[in-house]
Amino acid sequence: MRAAGRAVRARLRDRIAASDPGLLRLTAGLRTVGAIALTLAVLSLLGADVHLLVAGAMAAMVATFAIREKQLGAQAVTLALGLPVALASVSLGAVLNSRLVIGDAFFVVLIFCAVYGRRFGDRGTALGLIGFQVYFLSLFVGATVATLPALCGAMALAFCSSALMRFAVVPATPTGVLLRMRLAFRARLAQLVSAQLELLDAPADEMDKALEAVREGTARLHETAMMIQDRLEEGTPDESAARLVQRRIADAEIAAERLGLLLLTARSAERADTLTLHLPGAPAPSLAGPAVPDETGATLRRDLQALHALVLRAGSGDTGTGLAHVRNRLLGYRDEENLPPASAAVQDVFRGIGESARAVLGLRIALDGPQDESDDTPATARSREELDAEDAAIDGGEEAAPEEQTGLRRPTTRAAVQVAVGSSLAIVGGELLSTQRWYWAVLTCWIVFLNTASTGEILVKGYRRLLGTVFGVVAGIVLAGLVGKHTWTAFALVLVLIFAMFYSAPLSYTLMSFFVTAMLGLLYTLLHTYSLDVLVLRIEETALGAACGVVAAALVLPVQTDRRTNELLGTVLERLAEVTEAAVGQLSGGPADELLDKARDLDQALADLRAATQPLIHPVTPLRTRRHTARYVVALLETCAYHARTLAATAELLPTHPSIAADPRLRGAAGRTVRNIETIAVRVADEHAGAQVETGPSIASLLGSDAGTPRYGRITDRVLRHLERLDEAVVGLARPLGVPVAAPKG
C-alpha cells in the first residue's frame, strides 16, 4: 500500500511539475493570495472599514505581482523602494482627485513615466507599475485627504505582508526555481516519450491524433528548455556549471526530438519530413502498413517503456540494479553489434533510443553528480568516458551586448509616447461615458500596451481583454447575486478569483481578464456600488480603452505588424546563418566556437518571432491565406532551427568524443545554404532586391570521396542528412516569402 501511495504521489508531482514548470504560476498565486489574506486579517482586527479593506487588498496584490527580479536581494530593494513610491502616488491621488484638469494631466504624466521606466530593467518596470496601479487604486476607492493617513497605513501593511509572504512563507530562490524547472523538464521529457510510444502503436485512423500529441510534447519540452536557459545564470554556482547543464538539456531535447522523427519514419512509407513535427495541424505521412514485425515491435515497445522509466527515475535517487540493467541495455544500442535484426528505419529507432539514454545519463550526472559505476557494461563505461571528457572541455564565453537604440527609436520611449496619447484619449472619452469611473478606460489602454510591440499585437490583446470582460461581467452578476452583503464570503471568493487570475495569466489573457472582471464585480458589491449599469459601463469603458490604445498605436510612431515581423524574421535568418556556418566550420576542422550559445540565441529570436506573428495567425484574422502563410513560415523556421541545433550539438562533441572526428570534406558544404539564407534576409528587408535562391545537386554529391576510402562515416552521414534537410527547408522558405528561385544549372 505504501509503495502504491508513493507511486501515486510521484505521478501527481510529475504531472504538476510538467504543467507548471518551476511552479512559477502556483508560487505567484499562493504568494499573492497569502499577502492579501494577511493584510485583510490584520486590517479587520484593527476595525478598518470596507474601503480600507479593499484598498489594502489591492495594494498587497500590486506589491506582490509587480516585483519581477530573480534574486531575493534585488527583490527586497525594489519592494523597499516601492513603498515610498506607493505612498507618494496615493497621496497625490487623494489631493488631485477633486481637481479635474490638473489630476488628469498628472495621470498622463505618471503613465508616461511609468512606461518609460521600463528602459531601466525589472526595477524600473516594477516601480512604474506600482506608481500607476496605486494611483488607479486611489481613484477606485475614492481617496480623499481626510482618509489619506489610514490609506497610507493600509499601504504600509500591504507591503509588509507582501514581504513576509515573499521572503518567509513562500520563498522562491533562483536555485530552487531552477531545480523545480529541471524536474519539470524531466517530467515533460517522460510525457514526450509516452506520446512517442503511443505513436508507435496508433492505428492508421488515429495517427493524426498521436502525431499531434508528439508535436505538443516536443513544443512543451522546448519551452521548458528555454525557461531553464533563462534561469541558469542566477540558479547555478558558476558559469561552468551553467554551461554543463545547458549542454545536457540541449542534448536531451535534441535526442528526444530526433527519436520522434525516427519513429515517424519507421511507420511511414518514406523518410518523415521534419516539418511534420513543427506545423500545427499537418497530417501524418502515409503509412507503410504495420510499423515493424511483431517480435521486433515488442522489443521496441519494451525499450521505449524502459526509456520512459529511465527518464522518470533519473534524479529520484534510485540507483538500484534494475535501473542499471535498463540503462545498460539501452546504451548498448549505440553499438552496431547490439542492434536487433530489422529494417534500416527500425534500427535507426533503436539507435535513437540509445542516444536518448545517453542524453538522460548525461543529464543525471550533470544535475546529481557522479553515479555508482559498479554495474556498468563496456557500452555504459564508454558513454561515461565521453560525457566526462565533454564536461572537462566546457569553458565559459562572453556574449556581445546588443546594440541599443536611442531617442524615439527606443521601444520604451516610443511606447511611453503612444500610451500617453492613448490614455489622454481614454480620459476624454471615459469622462464622457462616466465622470465617476472613467479610469477603467485608462486602465485598459495601459494594459494593452504591456508586453506588446506592434499595432496588431495591441489589437489582439484589446480584443482578448474585451472578450474576457464581457464574460466576466456575466460571472460578476451571478456572484454578486449569490454573495449579496456577506462581506467575508465575498472576500473569500475574491481570493479564489485572484489565485485563478495569477495561475491562468501565462496561459490565457482572455481567461485572466474574465477572472479580473468577476473579481471587480465582487469588489463593487463590497463597496456598495454594485449595479448592472456599473458592470455594463465596465464593458463600455474597456472597449473604449482598447480602441484608444489601437488608435494611438496606429497613428503615433506606429510599428506595423508586417514591419515588426520582418525585422524579427531578419534576426532569425541572421542567427540561423551564424549557427549553420559556425557548426559546419567546426565539423570540418575549423576553430571551436560557442555554438550552443549561438543556437540558443537562434531559439530566442524564433520565440520572439512566434509571439509577434500571433496577430497574423489569430482566428479572428480575416486574411486566411496570410494566416496559413505565417504558420507555414514559422514551422519551416522551427524545422531549420532543429537541424541547426543538431549540427551545433554534434560539432560541440568534436574536441572530446573519441568516435567523432572532423571531416575536411564538409568544409564549404553549407556555403549554398548560408548564401540562400542571406538572400532571403536581403529580400525580406527590401522586397525590390533582385537576388535569387540557388538550387542544384545534393550537398552529399558535392563532397566527393578519395579512392580506397569509405565514402562517409556514420557521423558524417548524419551531418549530411541534417544539412540536406536544412538546405531543403531554406529553399522551401523562398516560395511563401516571394523570393525567386533560380533554375538548377544543367
pLDDT on residue 676: 92
Q: Which residue has the cell 511606447?
A: 415
15 grid coordinates: 504531472
Write the single-letter amino acid at 745: K
Whether the per-residue pLDDT at 584 is higher than 70: the answer is: yes
Residue 71 and residue 172 in contact, taking contact as beta carbons nearer than 8 Å:
no
347, containing H or E segment: helix 344-368
pLDDT on residue 374: 63
Residue 62 and residue 134 in contact, taking contact as beta carbons nearer than 8 Å:
yes
Average pLDDT, the chain: 84
Distance CA 491, CA 494 (A): 5
Distance CA 474, CA 481 (A): 11
Residue 580 and residue 647 in contact, taking contact as beta carbons nearer than 8 Å:
yes
Q: Give tens-digit pLDDT for 220-234.
A: 999 999 989 888 877
Q: What is the DSSP letter of 284?
A: P
Q: What is the pTM of this model?
A: 0.85
334 grid coordinates: 549505440
Q: Give tens-digit pLDDT for 643-699.
A: 999 998 888 877 666 666 777 877 778 888 999 999 999 988 887 777 788 887 777
Whether the per-residue pLDDT at 709 is higher than 50: the answer is: no
Whether the per-residue pLDDT at 210 is higher than 50: the answer is: yes
Strand, helix or coil for residue 745? coil
Distance CA 235, CA 554 (A): 41
Burial of 679 (0-12, 13-18, 19+ CB in 10 A): buried
Report which of 267, 262, 266, 259 is spatially closest to residue 204, judged by C-alpha positions: 267
Q: If you write DSSP's letter for every residue of 193-218 in order, what string do you get?
A: HHHHHHHHH--GGGHHHHHHHHHHHH
Q: Which residue has the cell 488515429?
A: 206
Mean pLDDT of 185-194: 92
Q: How many CA atoms lie within 13 A of 417 on its CB side?
A: 13
309 grid coordinates: 522509466
Q: Give tens-digit pLDDT for 93-148.
A: 999 988 878 989 999 999 999 999 988 989 999 999 999 999 999 998 889 999 99
Instruction: Tell me how many helices (H) and strands (E) the chain has.
Output: 27, 0
Mean pLDDT of 63-78: 92
Distance CA 393, CA 381 (A): 19
Q: Which residue has the cell 519507421?
A: 266
Whether the per-residue pLDDT at 406 is higher than 70: the answer is: no
Whether the per-residue pLDDT at 191 is higher than 90: the answer is: yes
Sequence-separated (6 or more) residues with CB below 8 Å from residue 335 = 379
Find the distance separating the first CA and the last CA of the chain, reported in whole Å: 73
Phi-psi region of 451 (alpha: psi -120 to 50; beta: other; left: phi over 0): left
Instruction: Count CB neighbours of 467 within 10 A.
Output: 17
* Least reliable range by pLDDT among 284-288, 525-529, 545-549, 629-633: 284-288
Q: What is the DSSP letter of 371?
A: -
Q: How many CA atoms lie within 13 A of 8 on its CB side?
A: 5
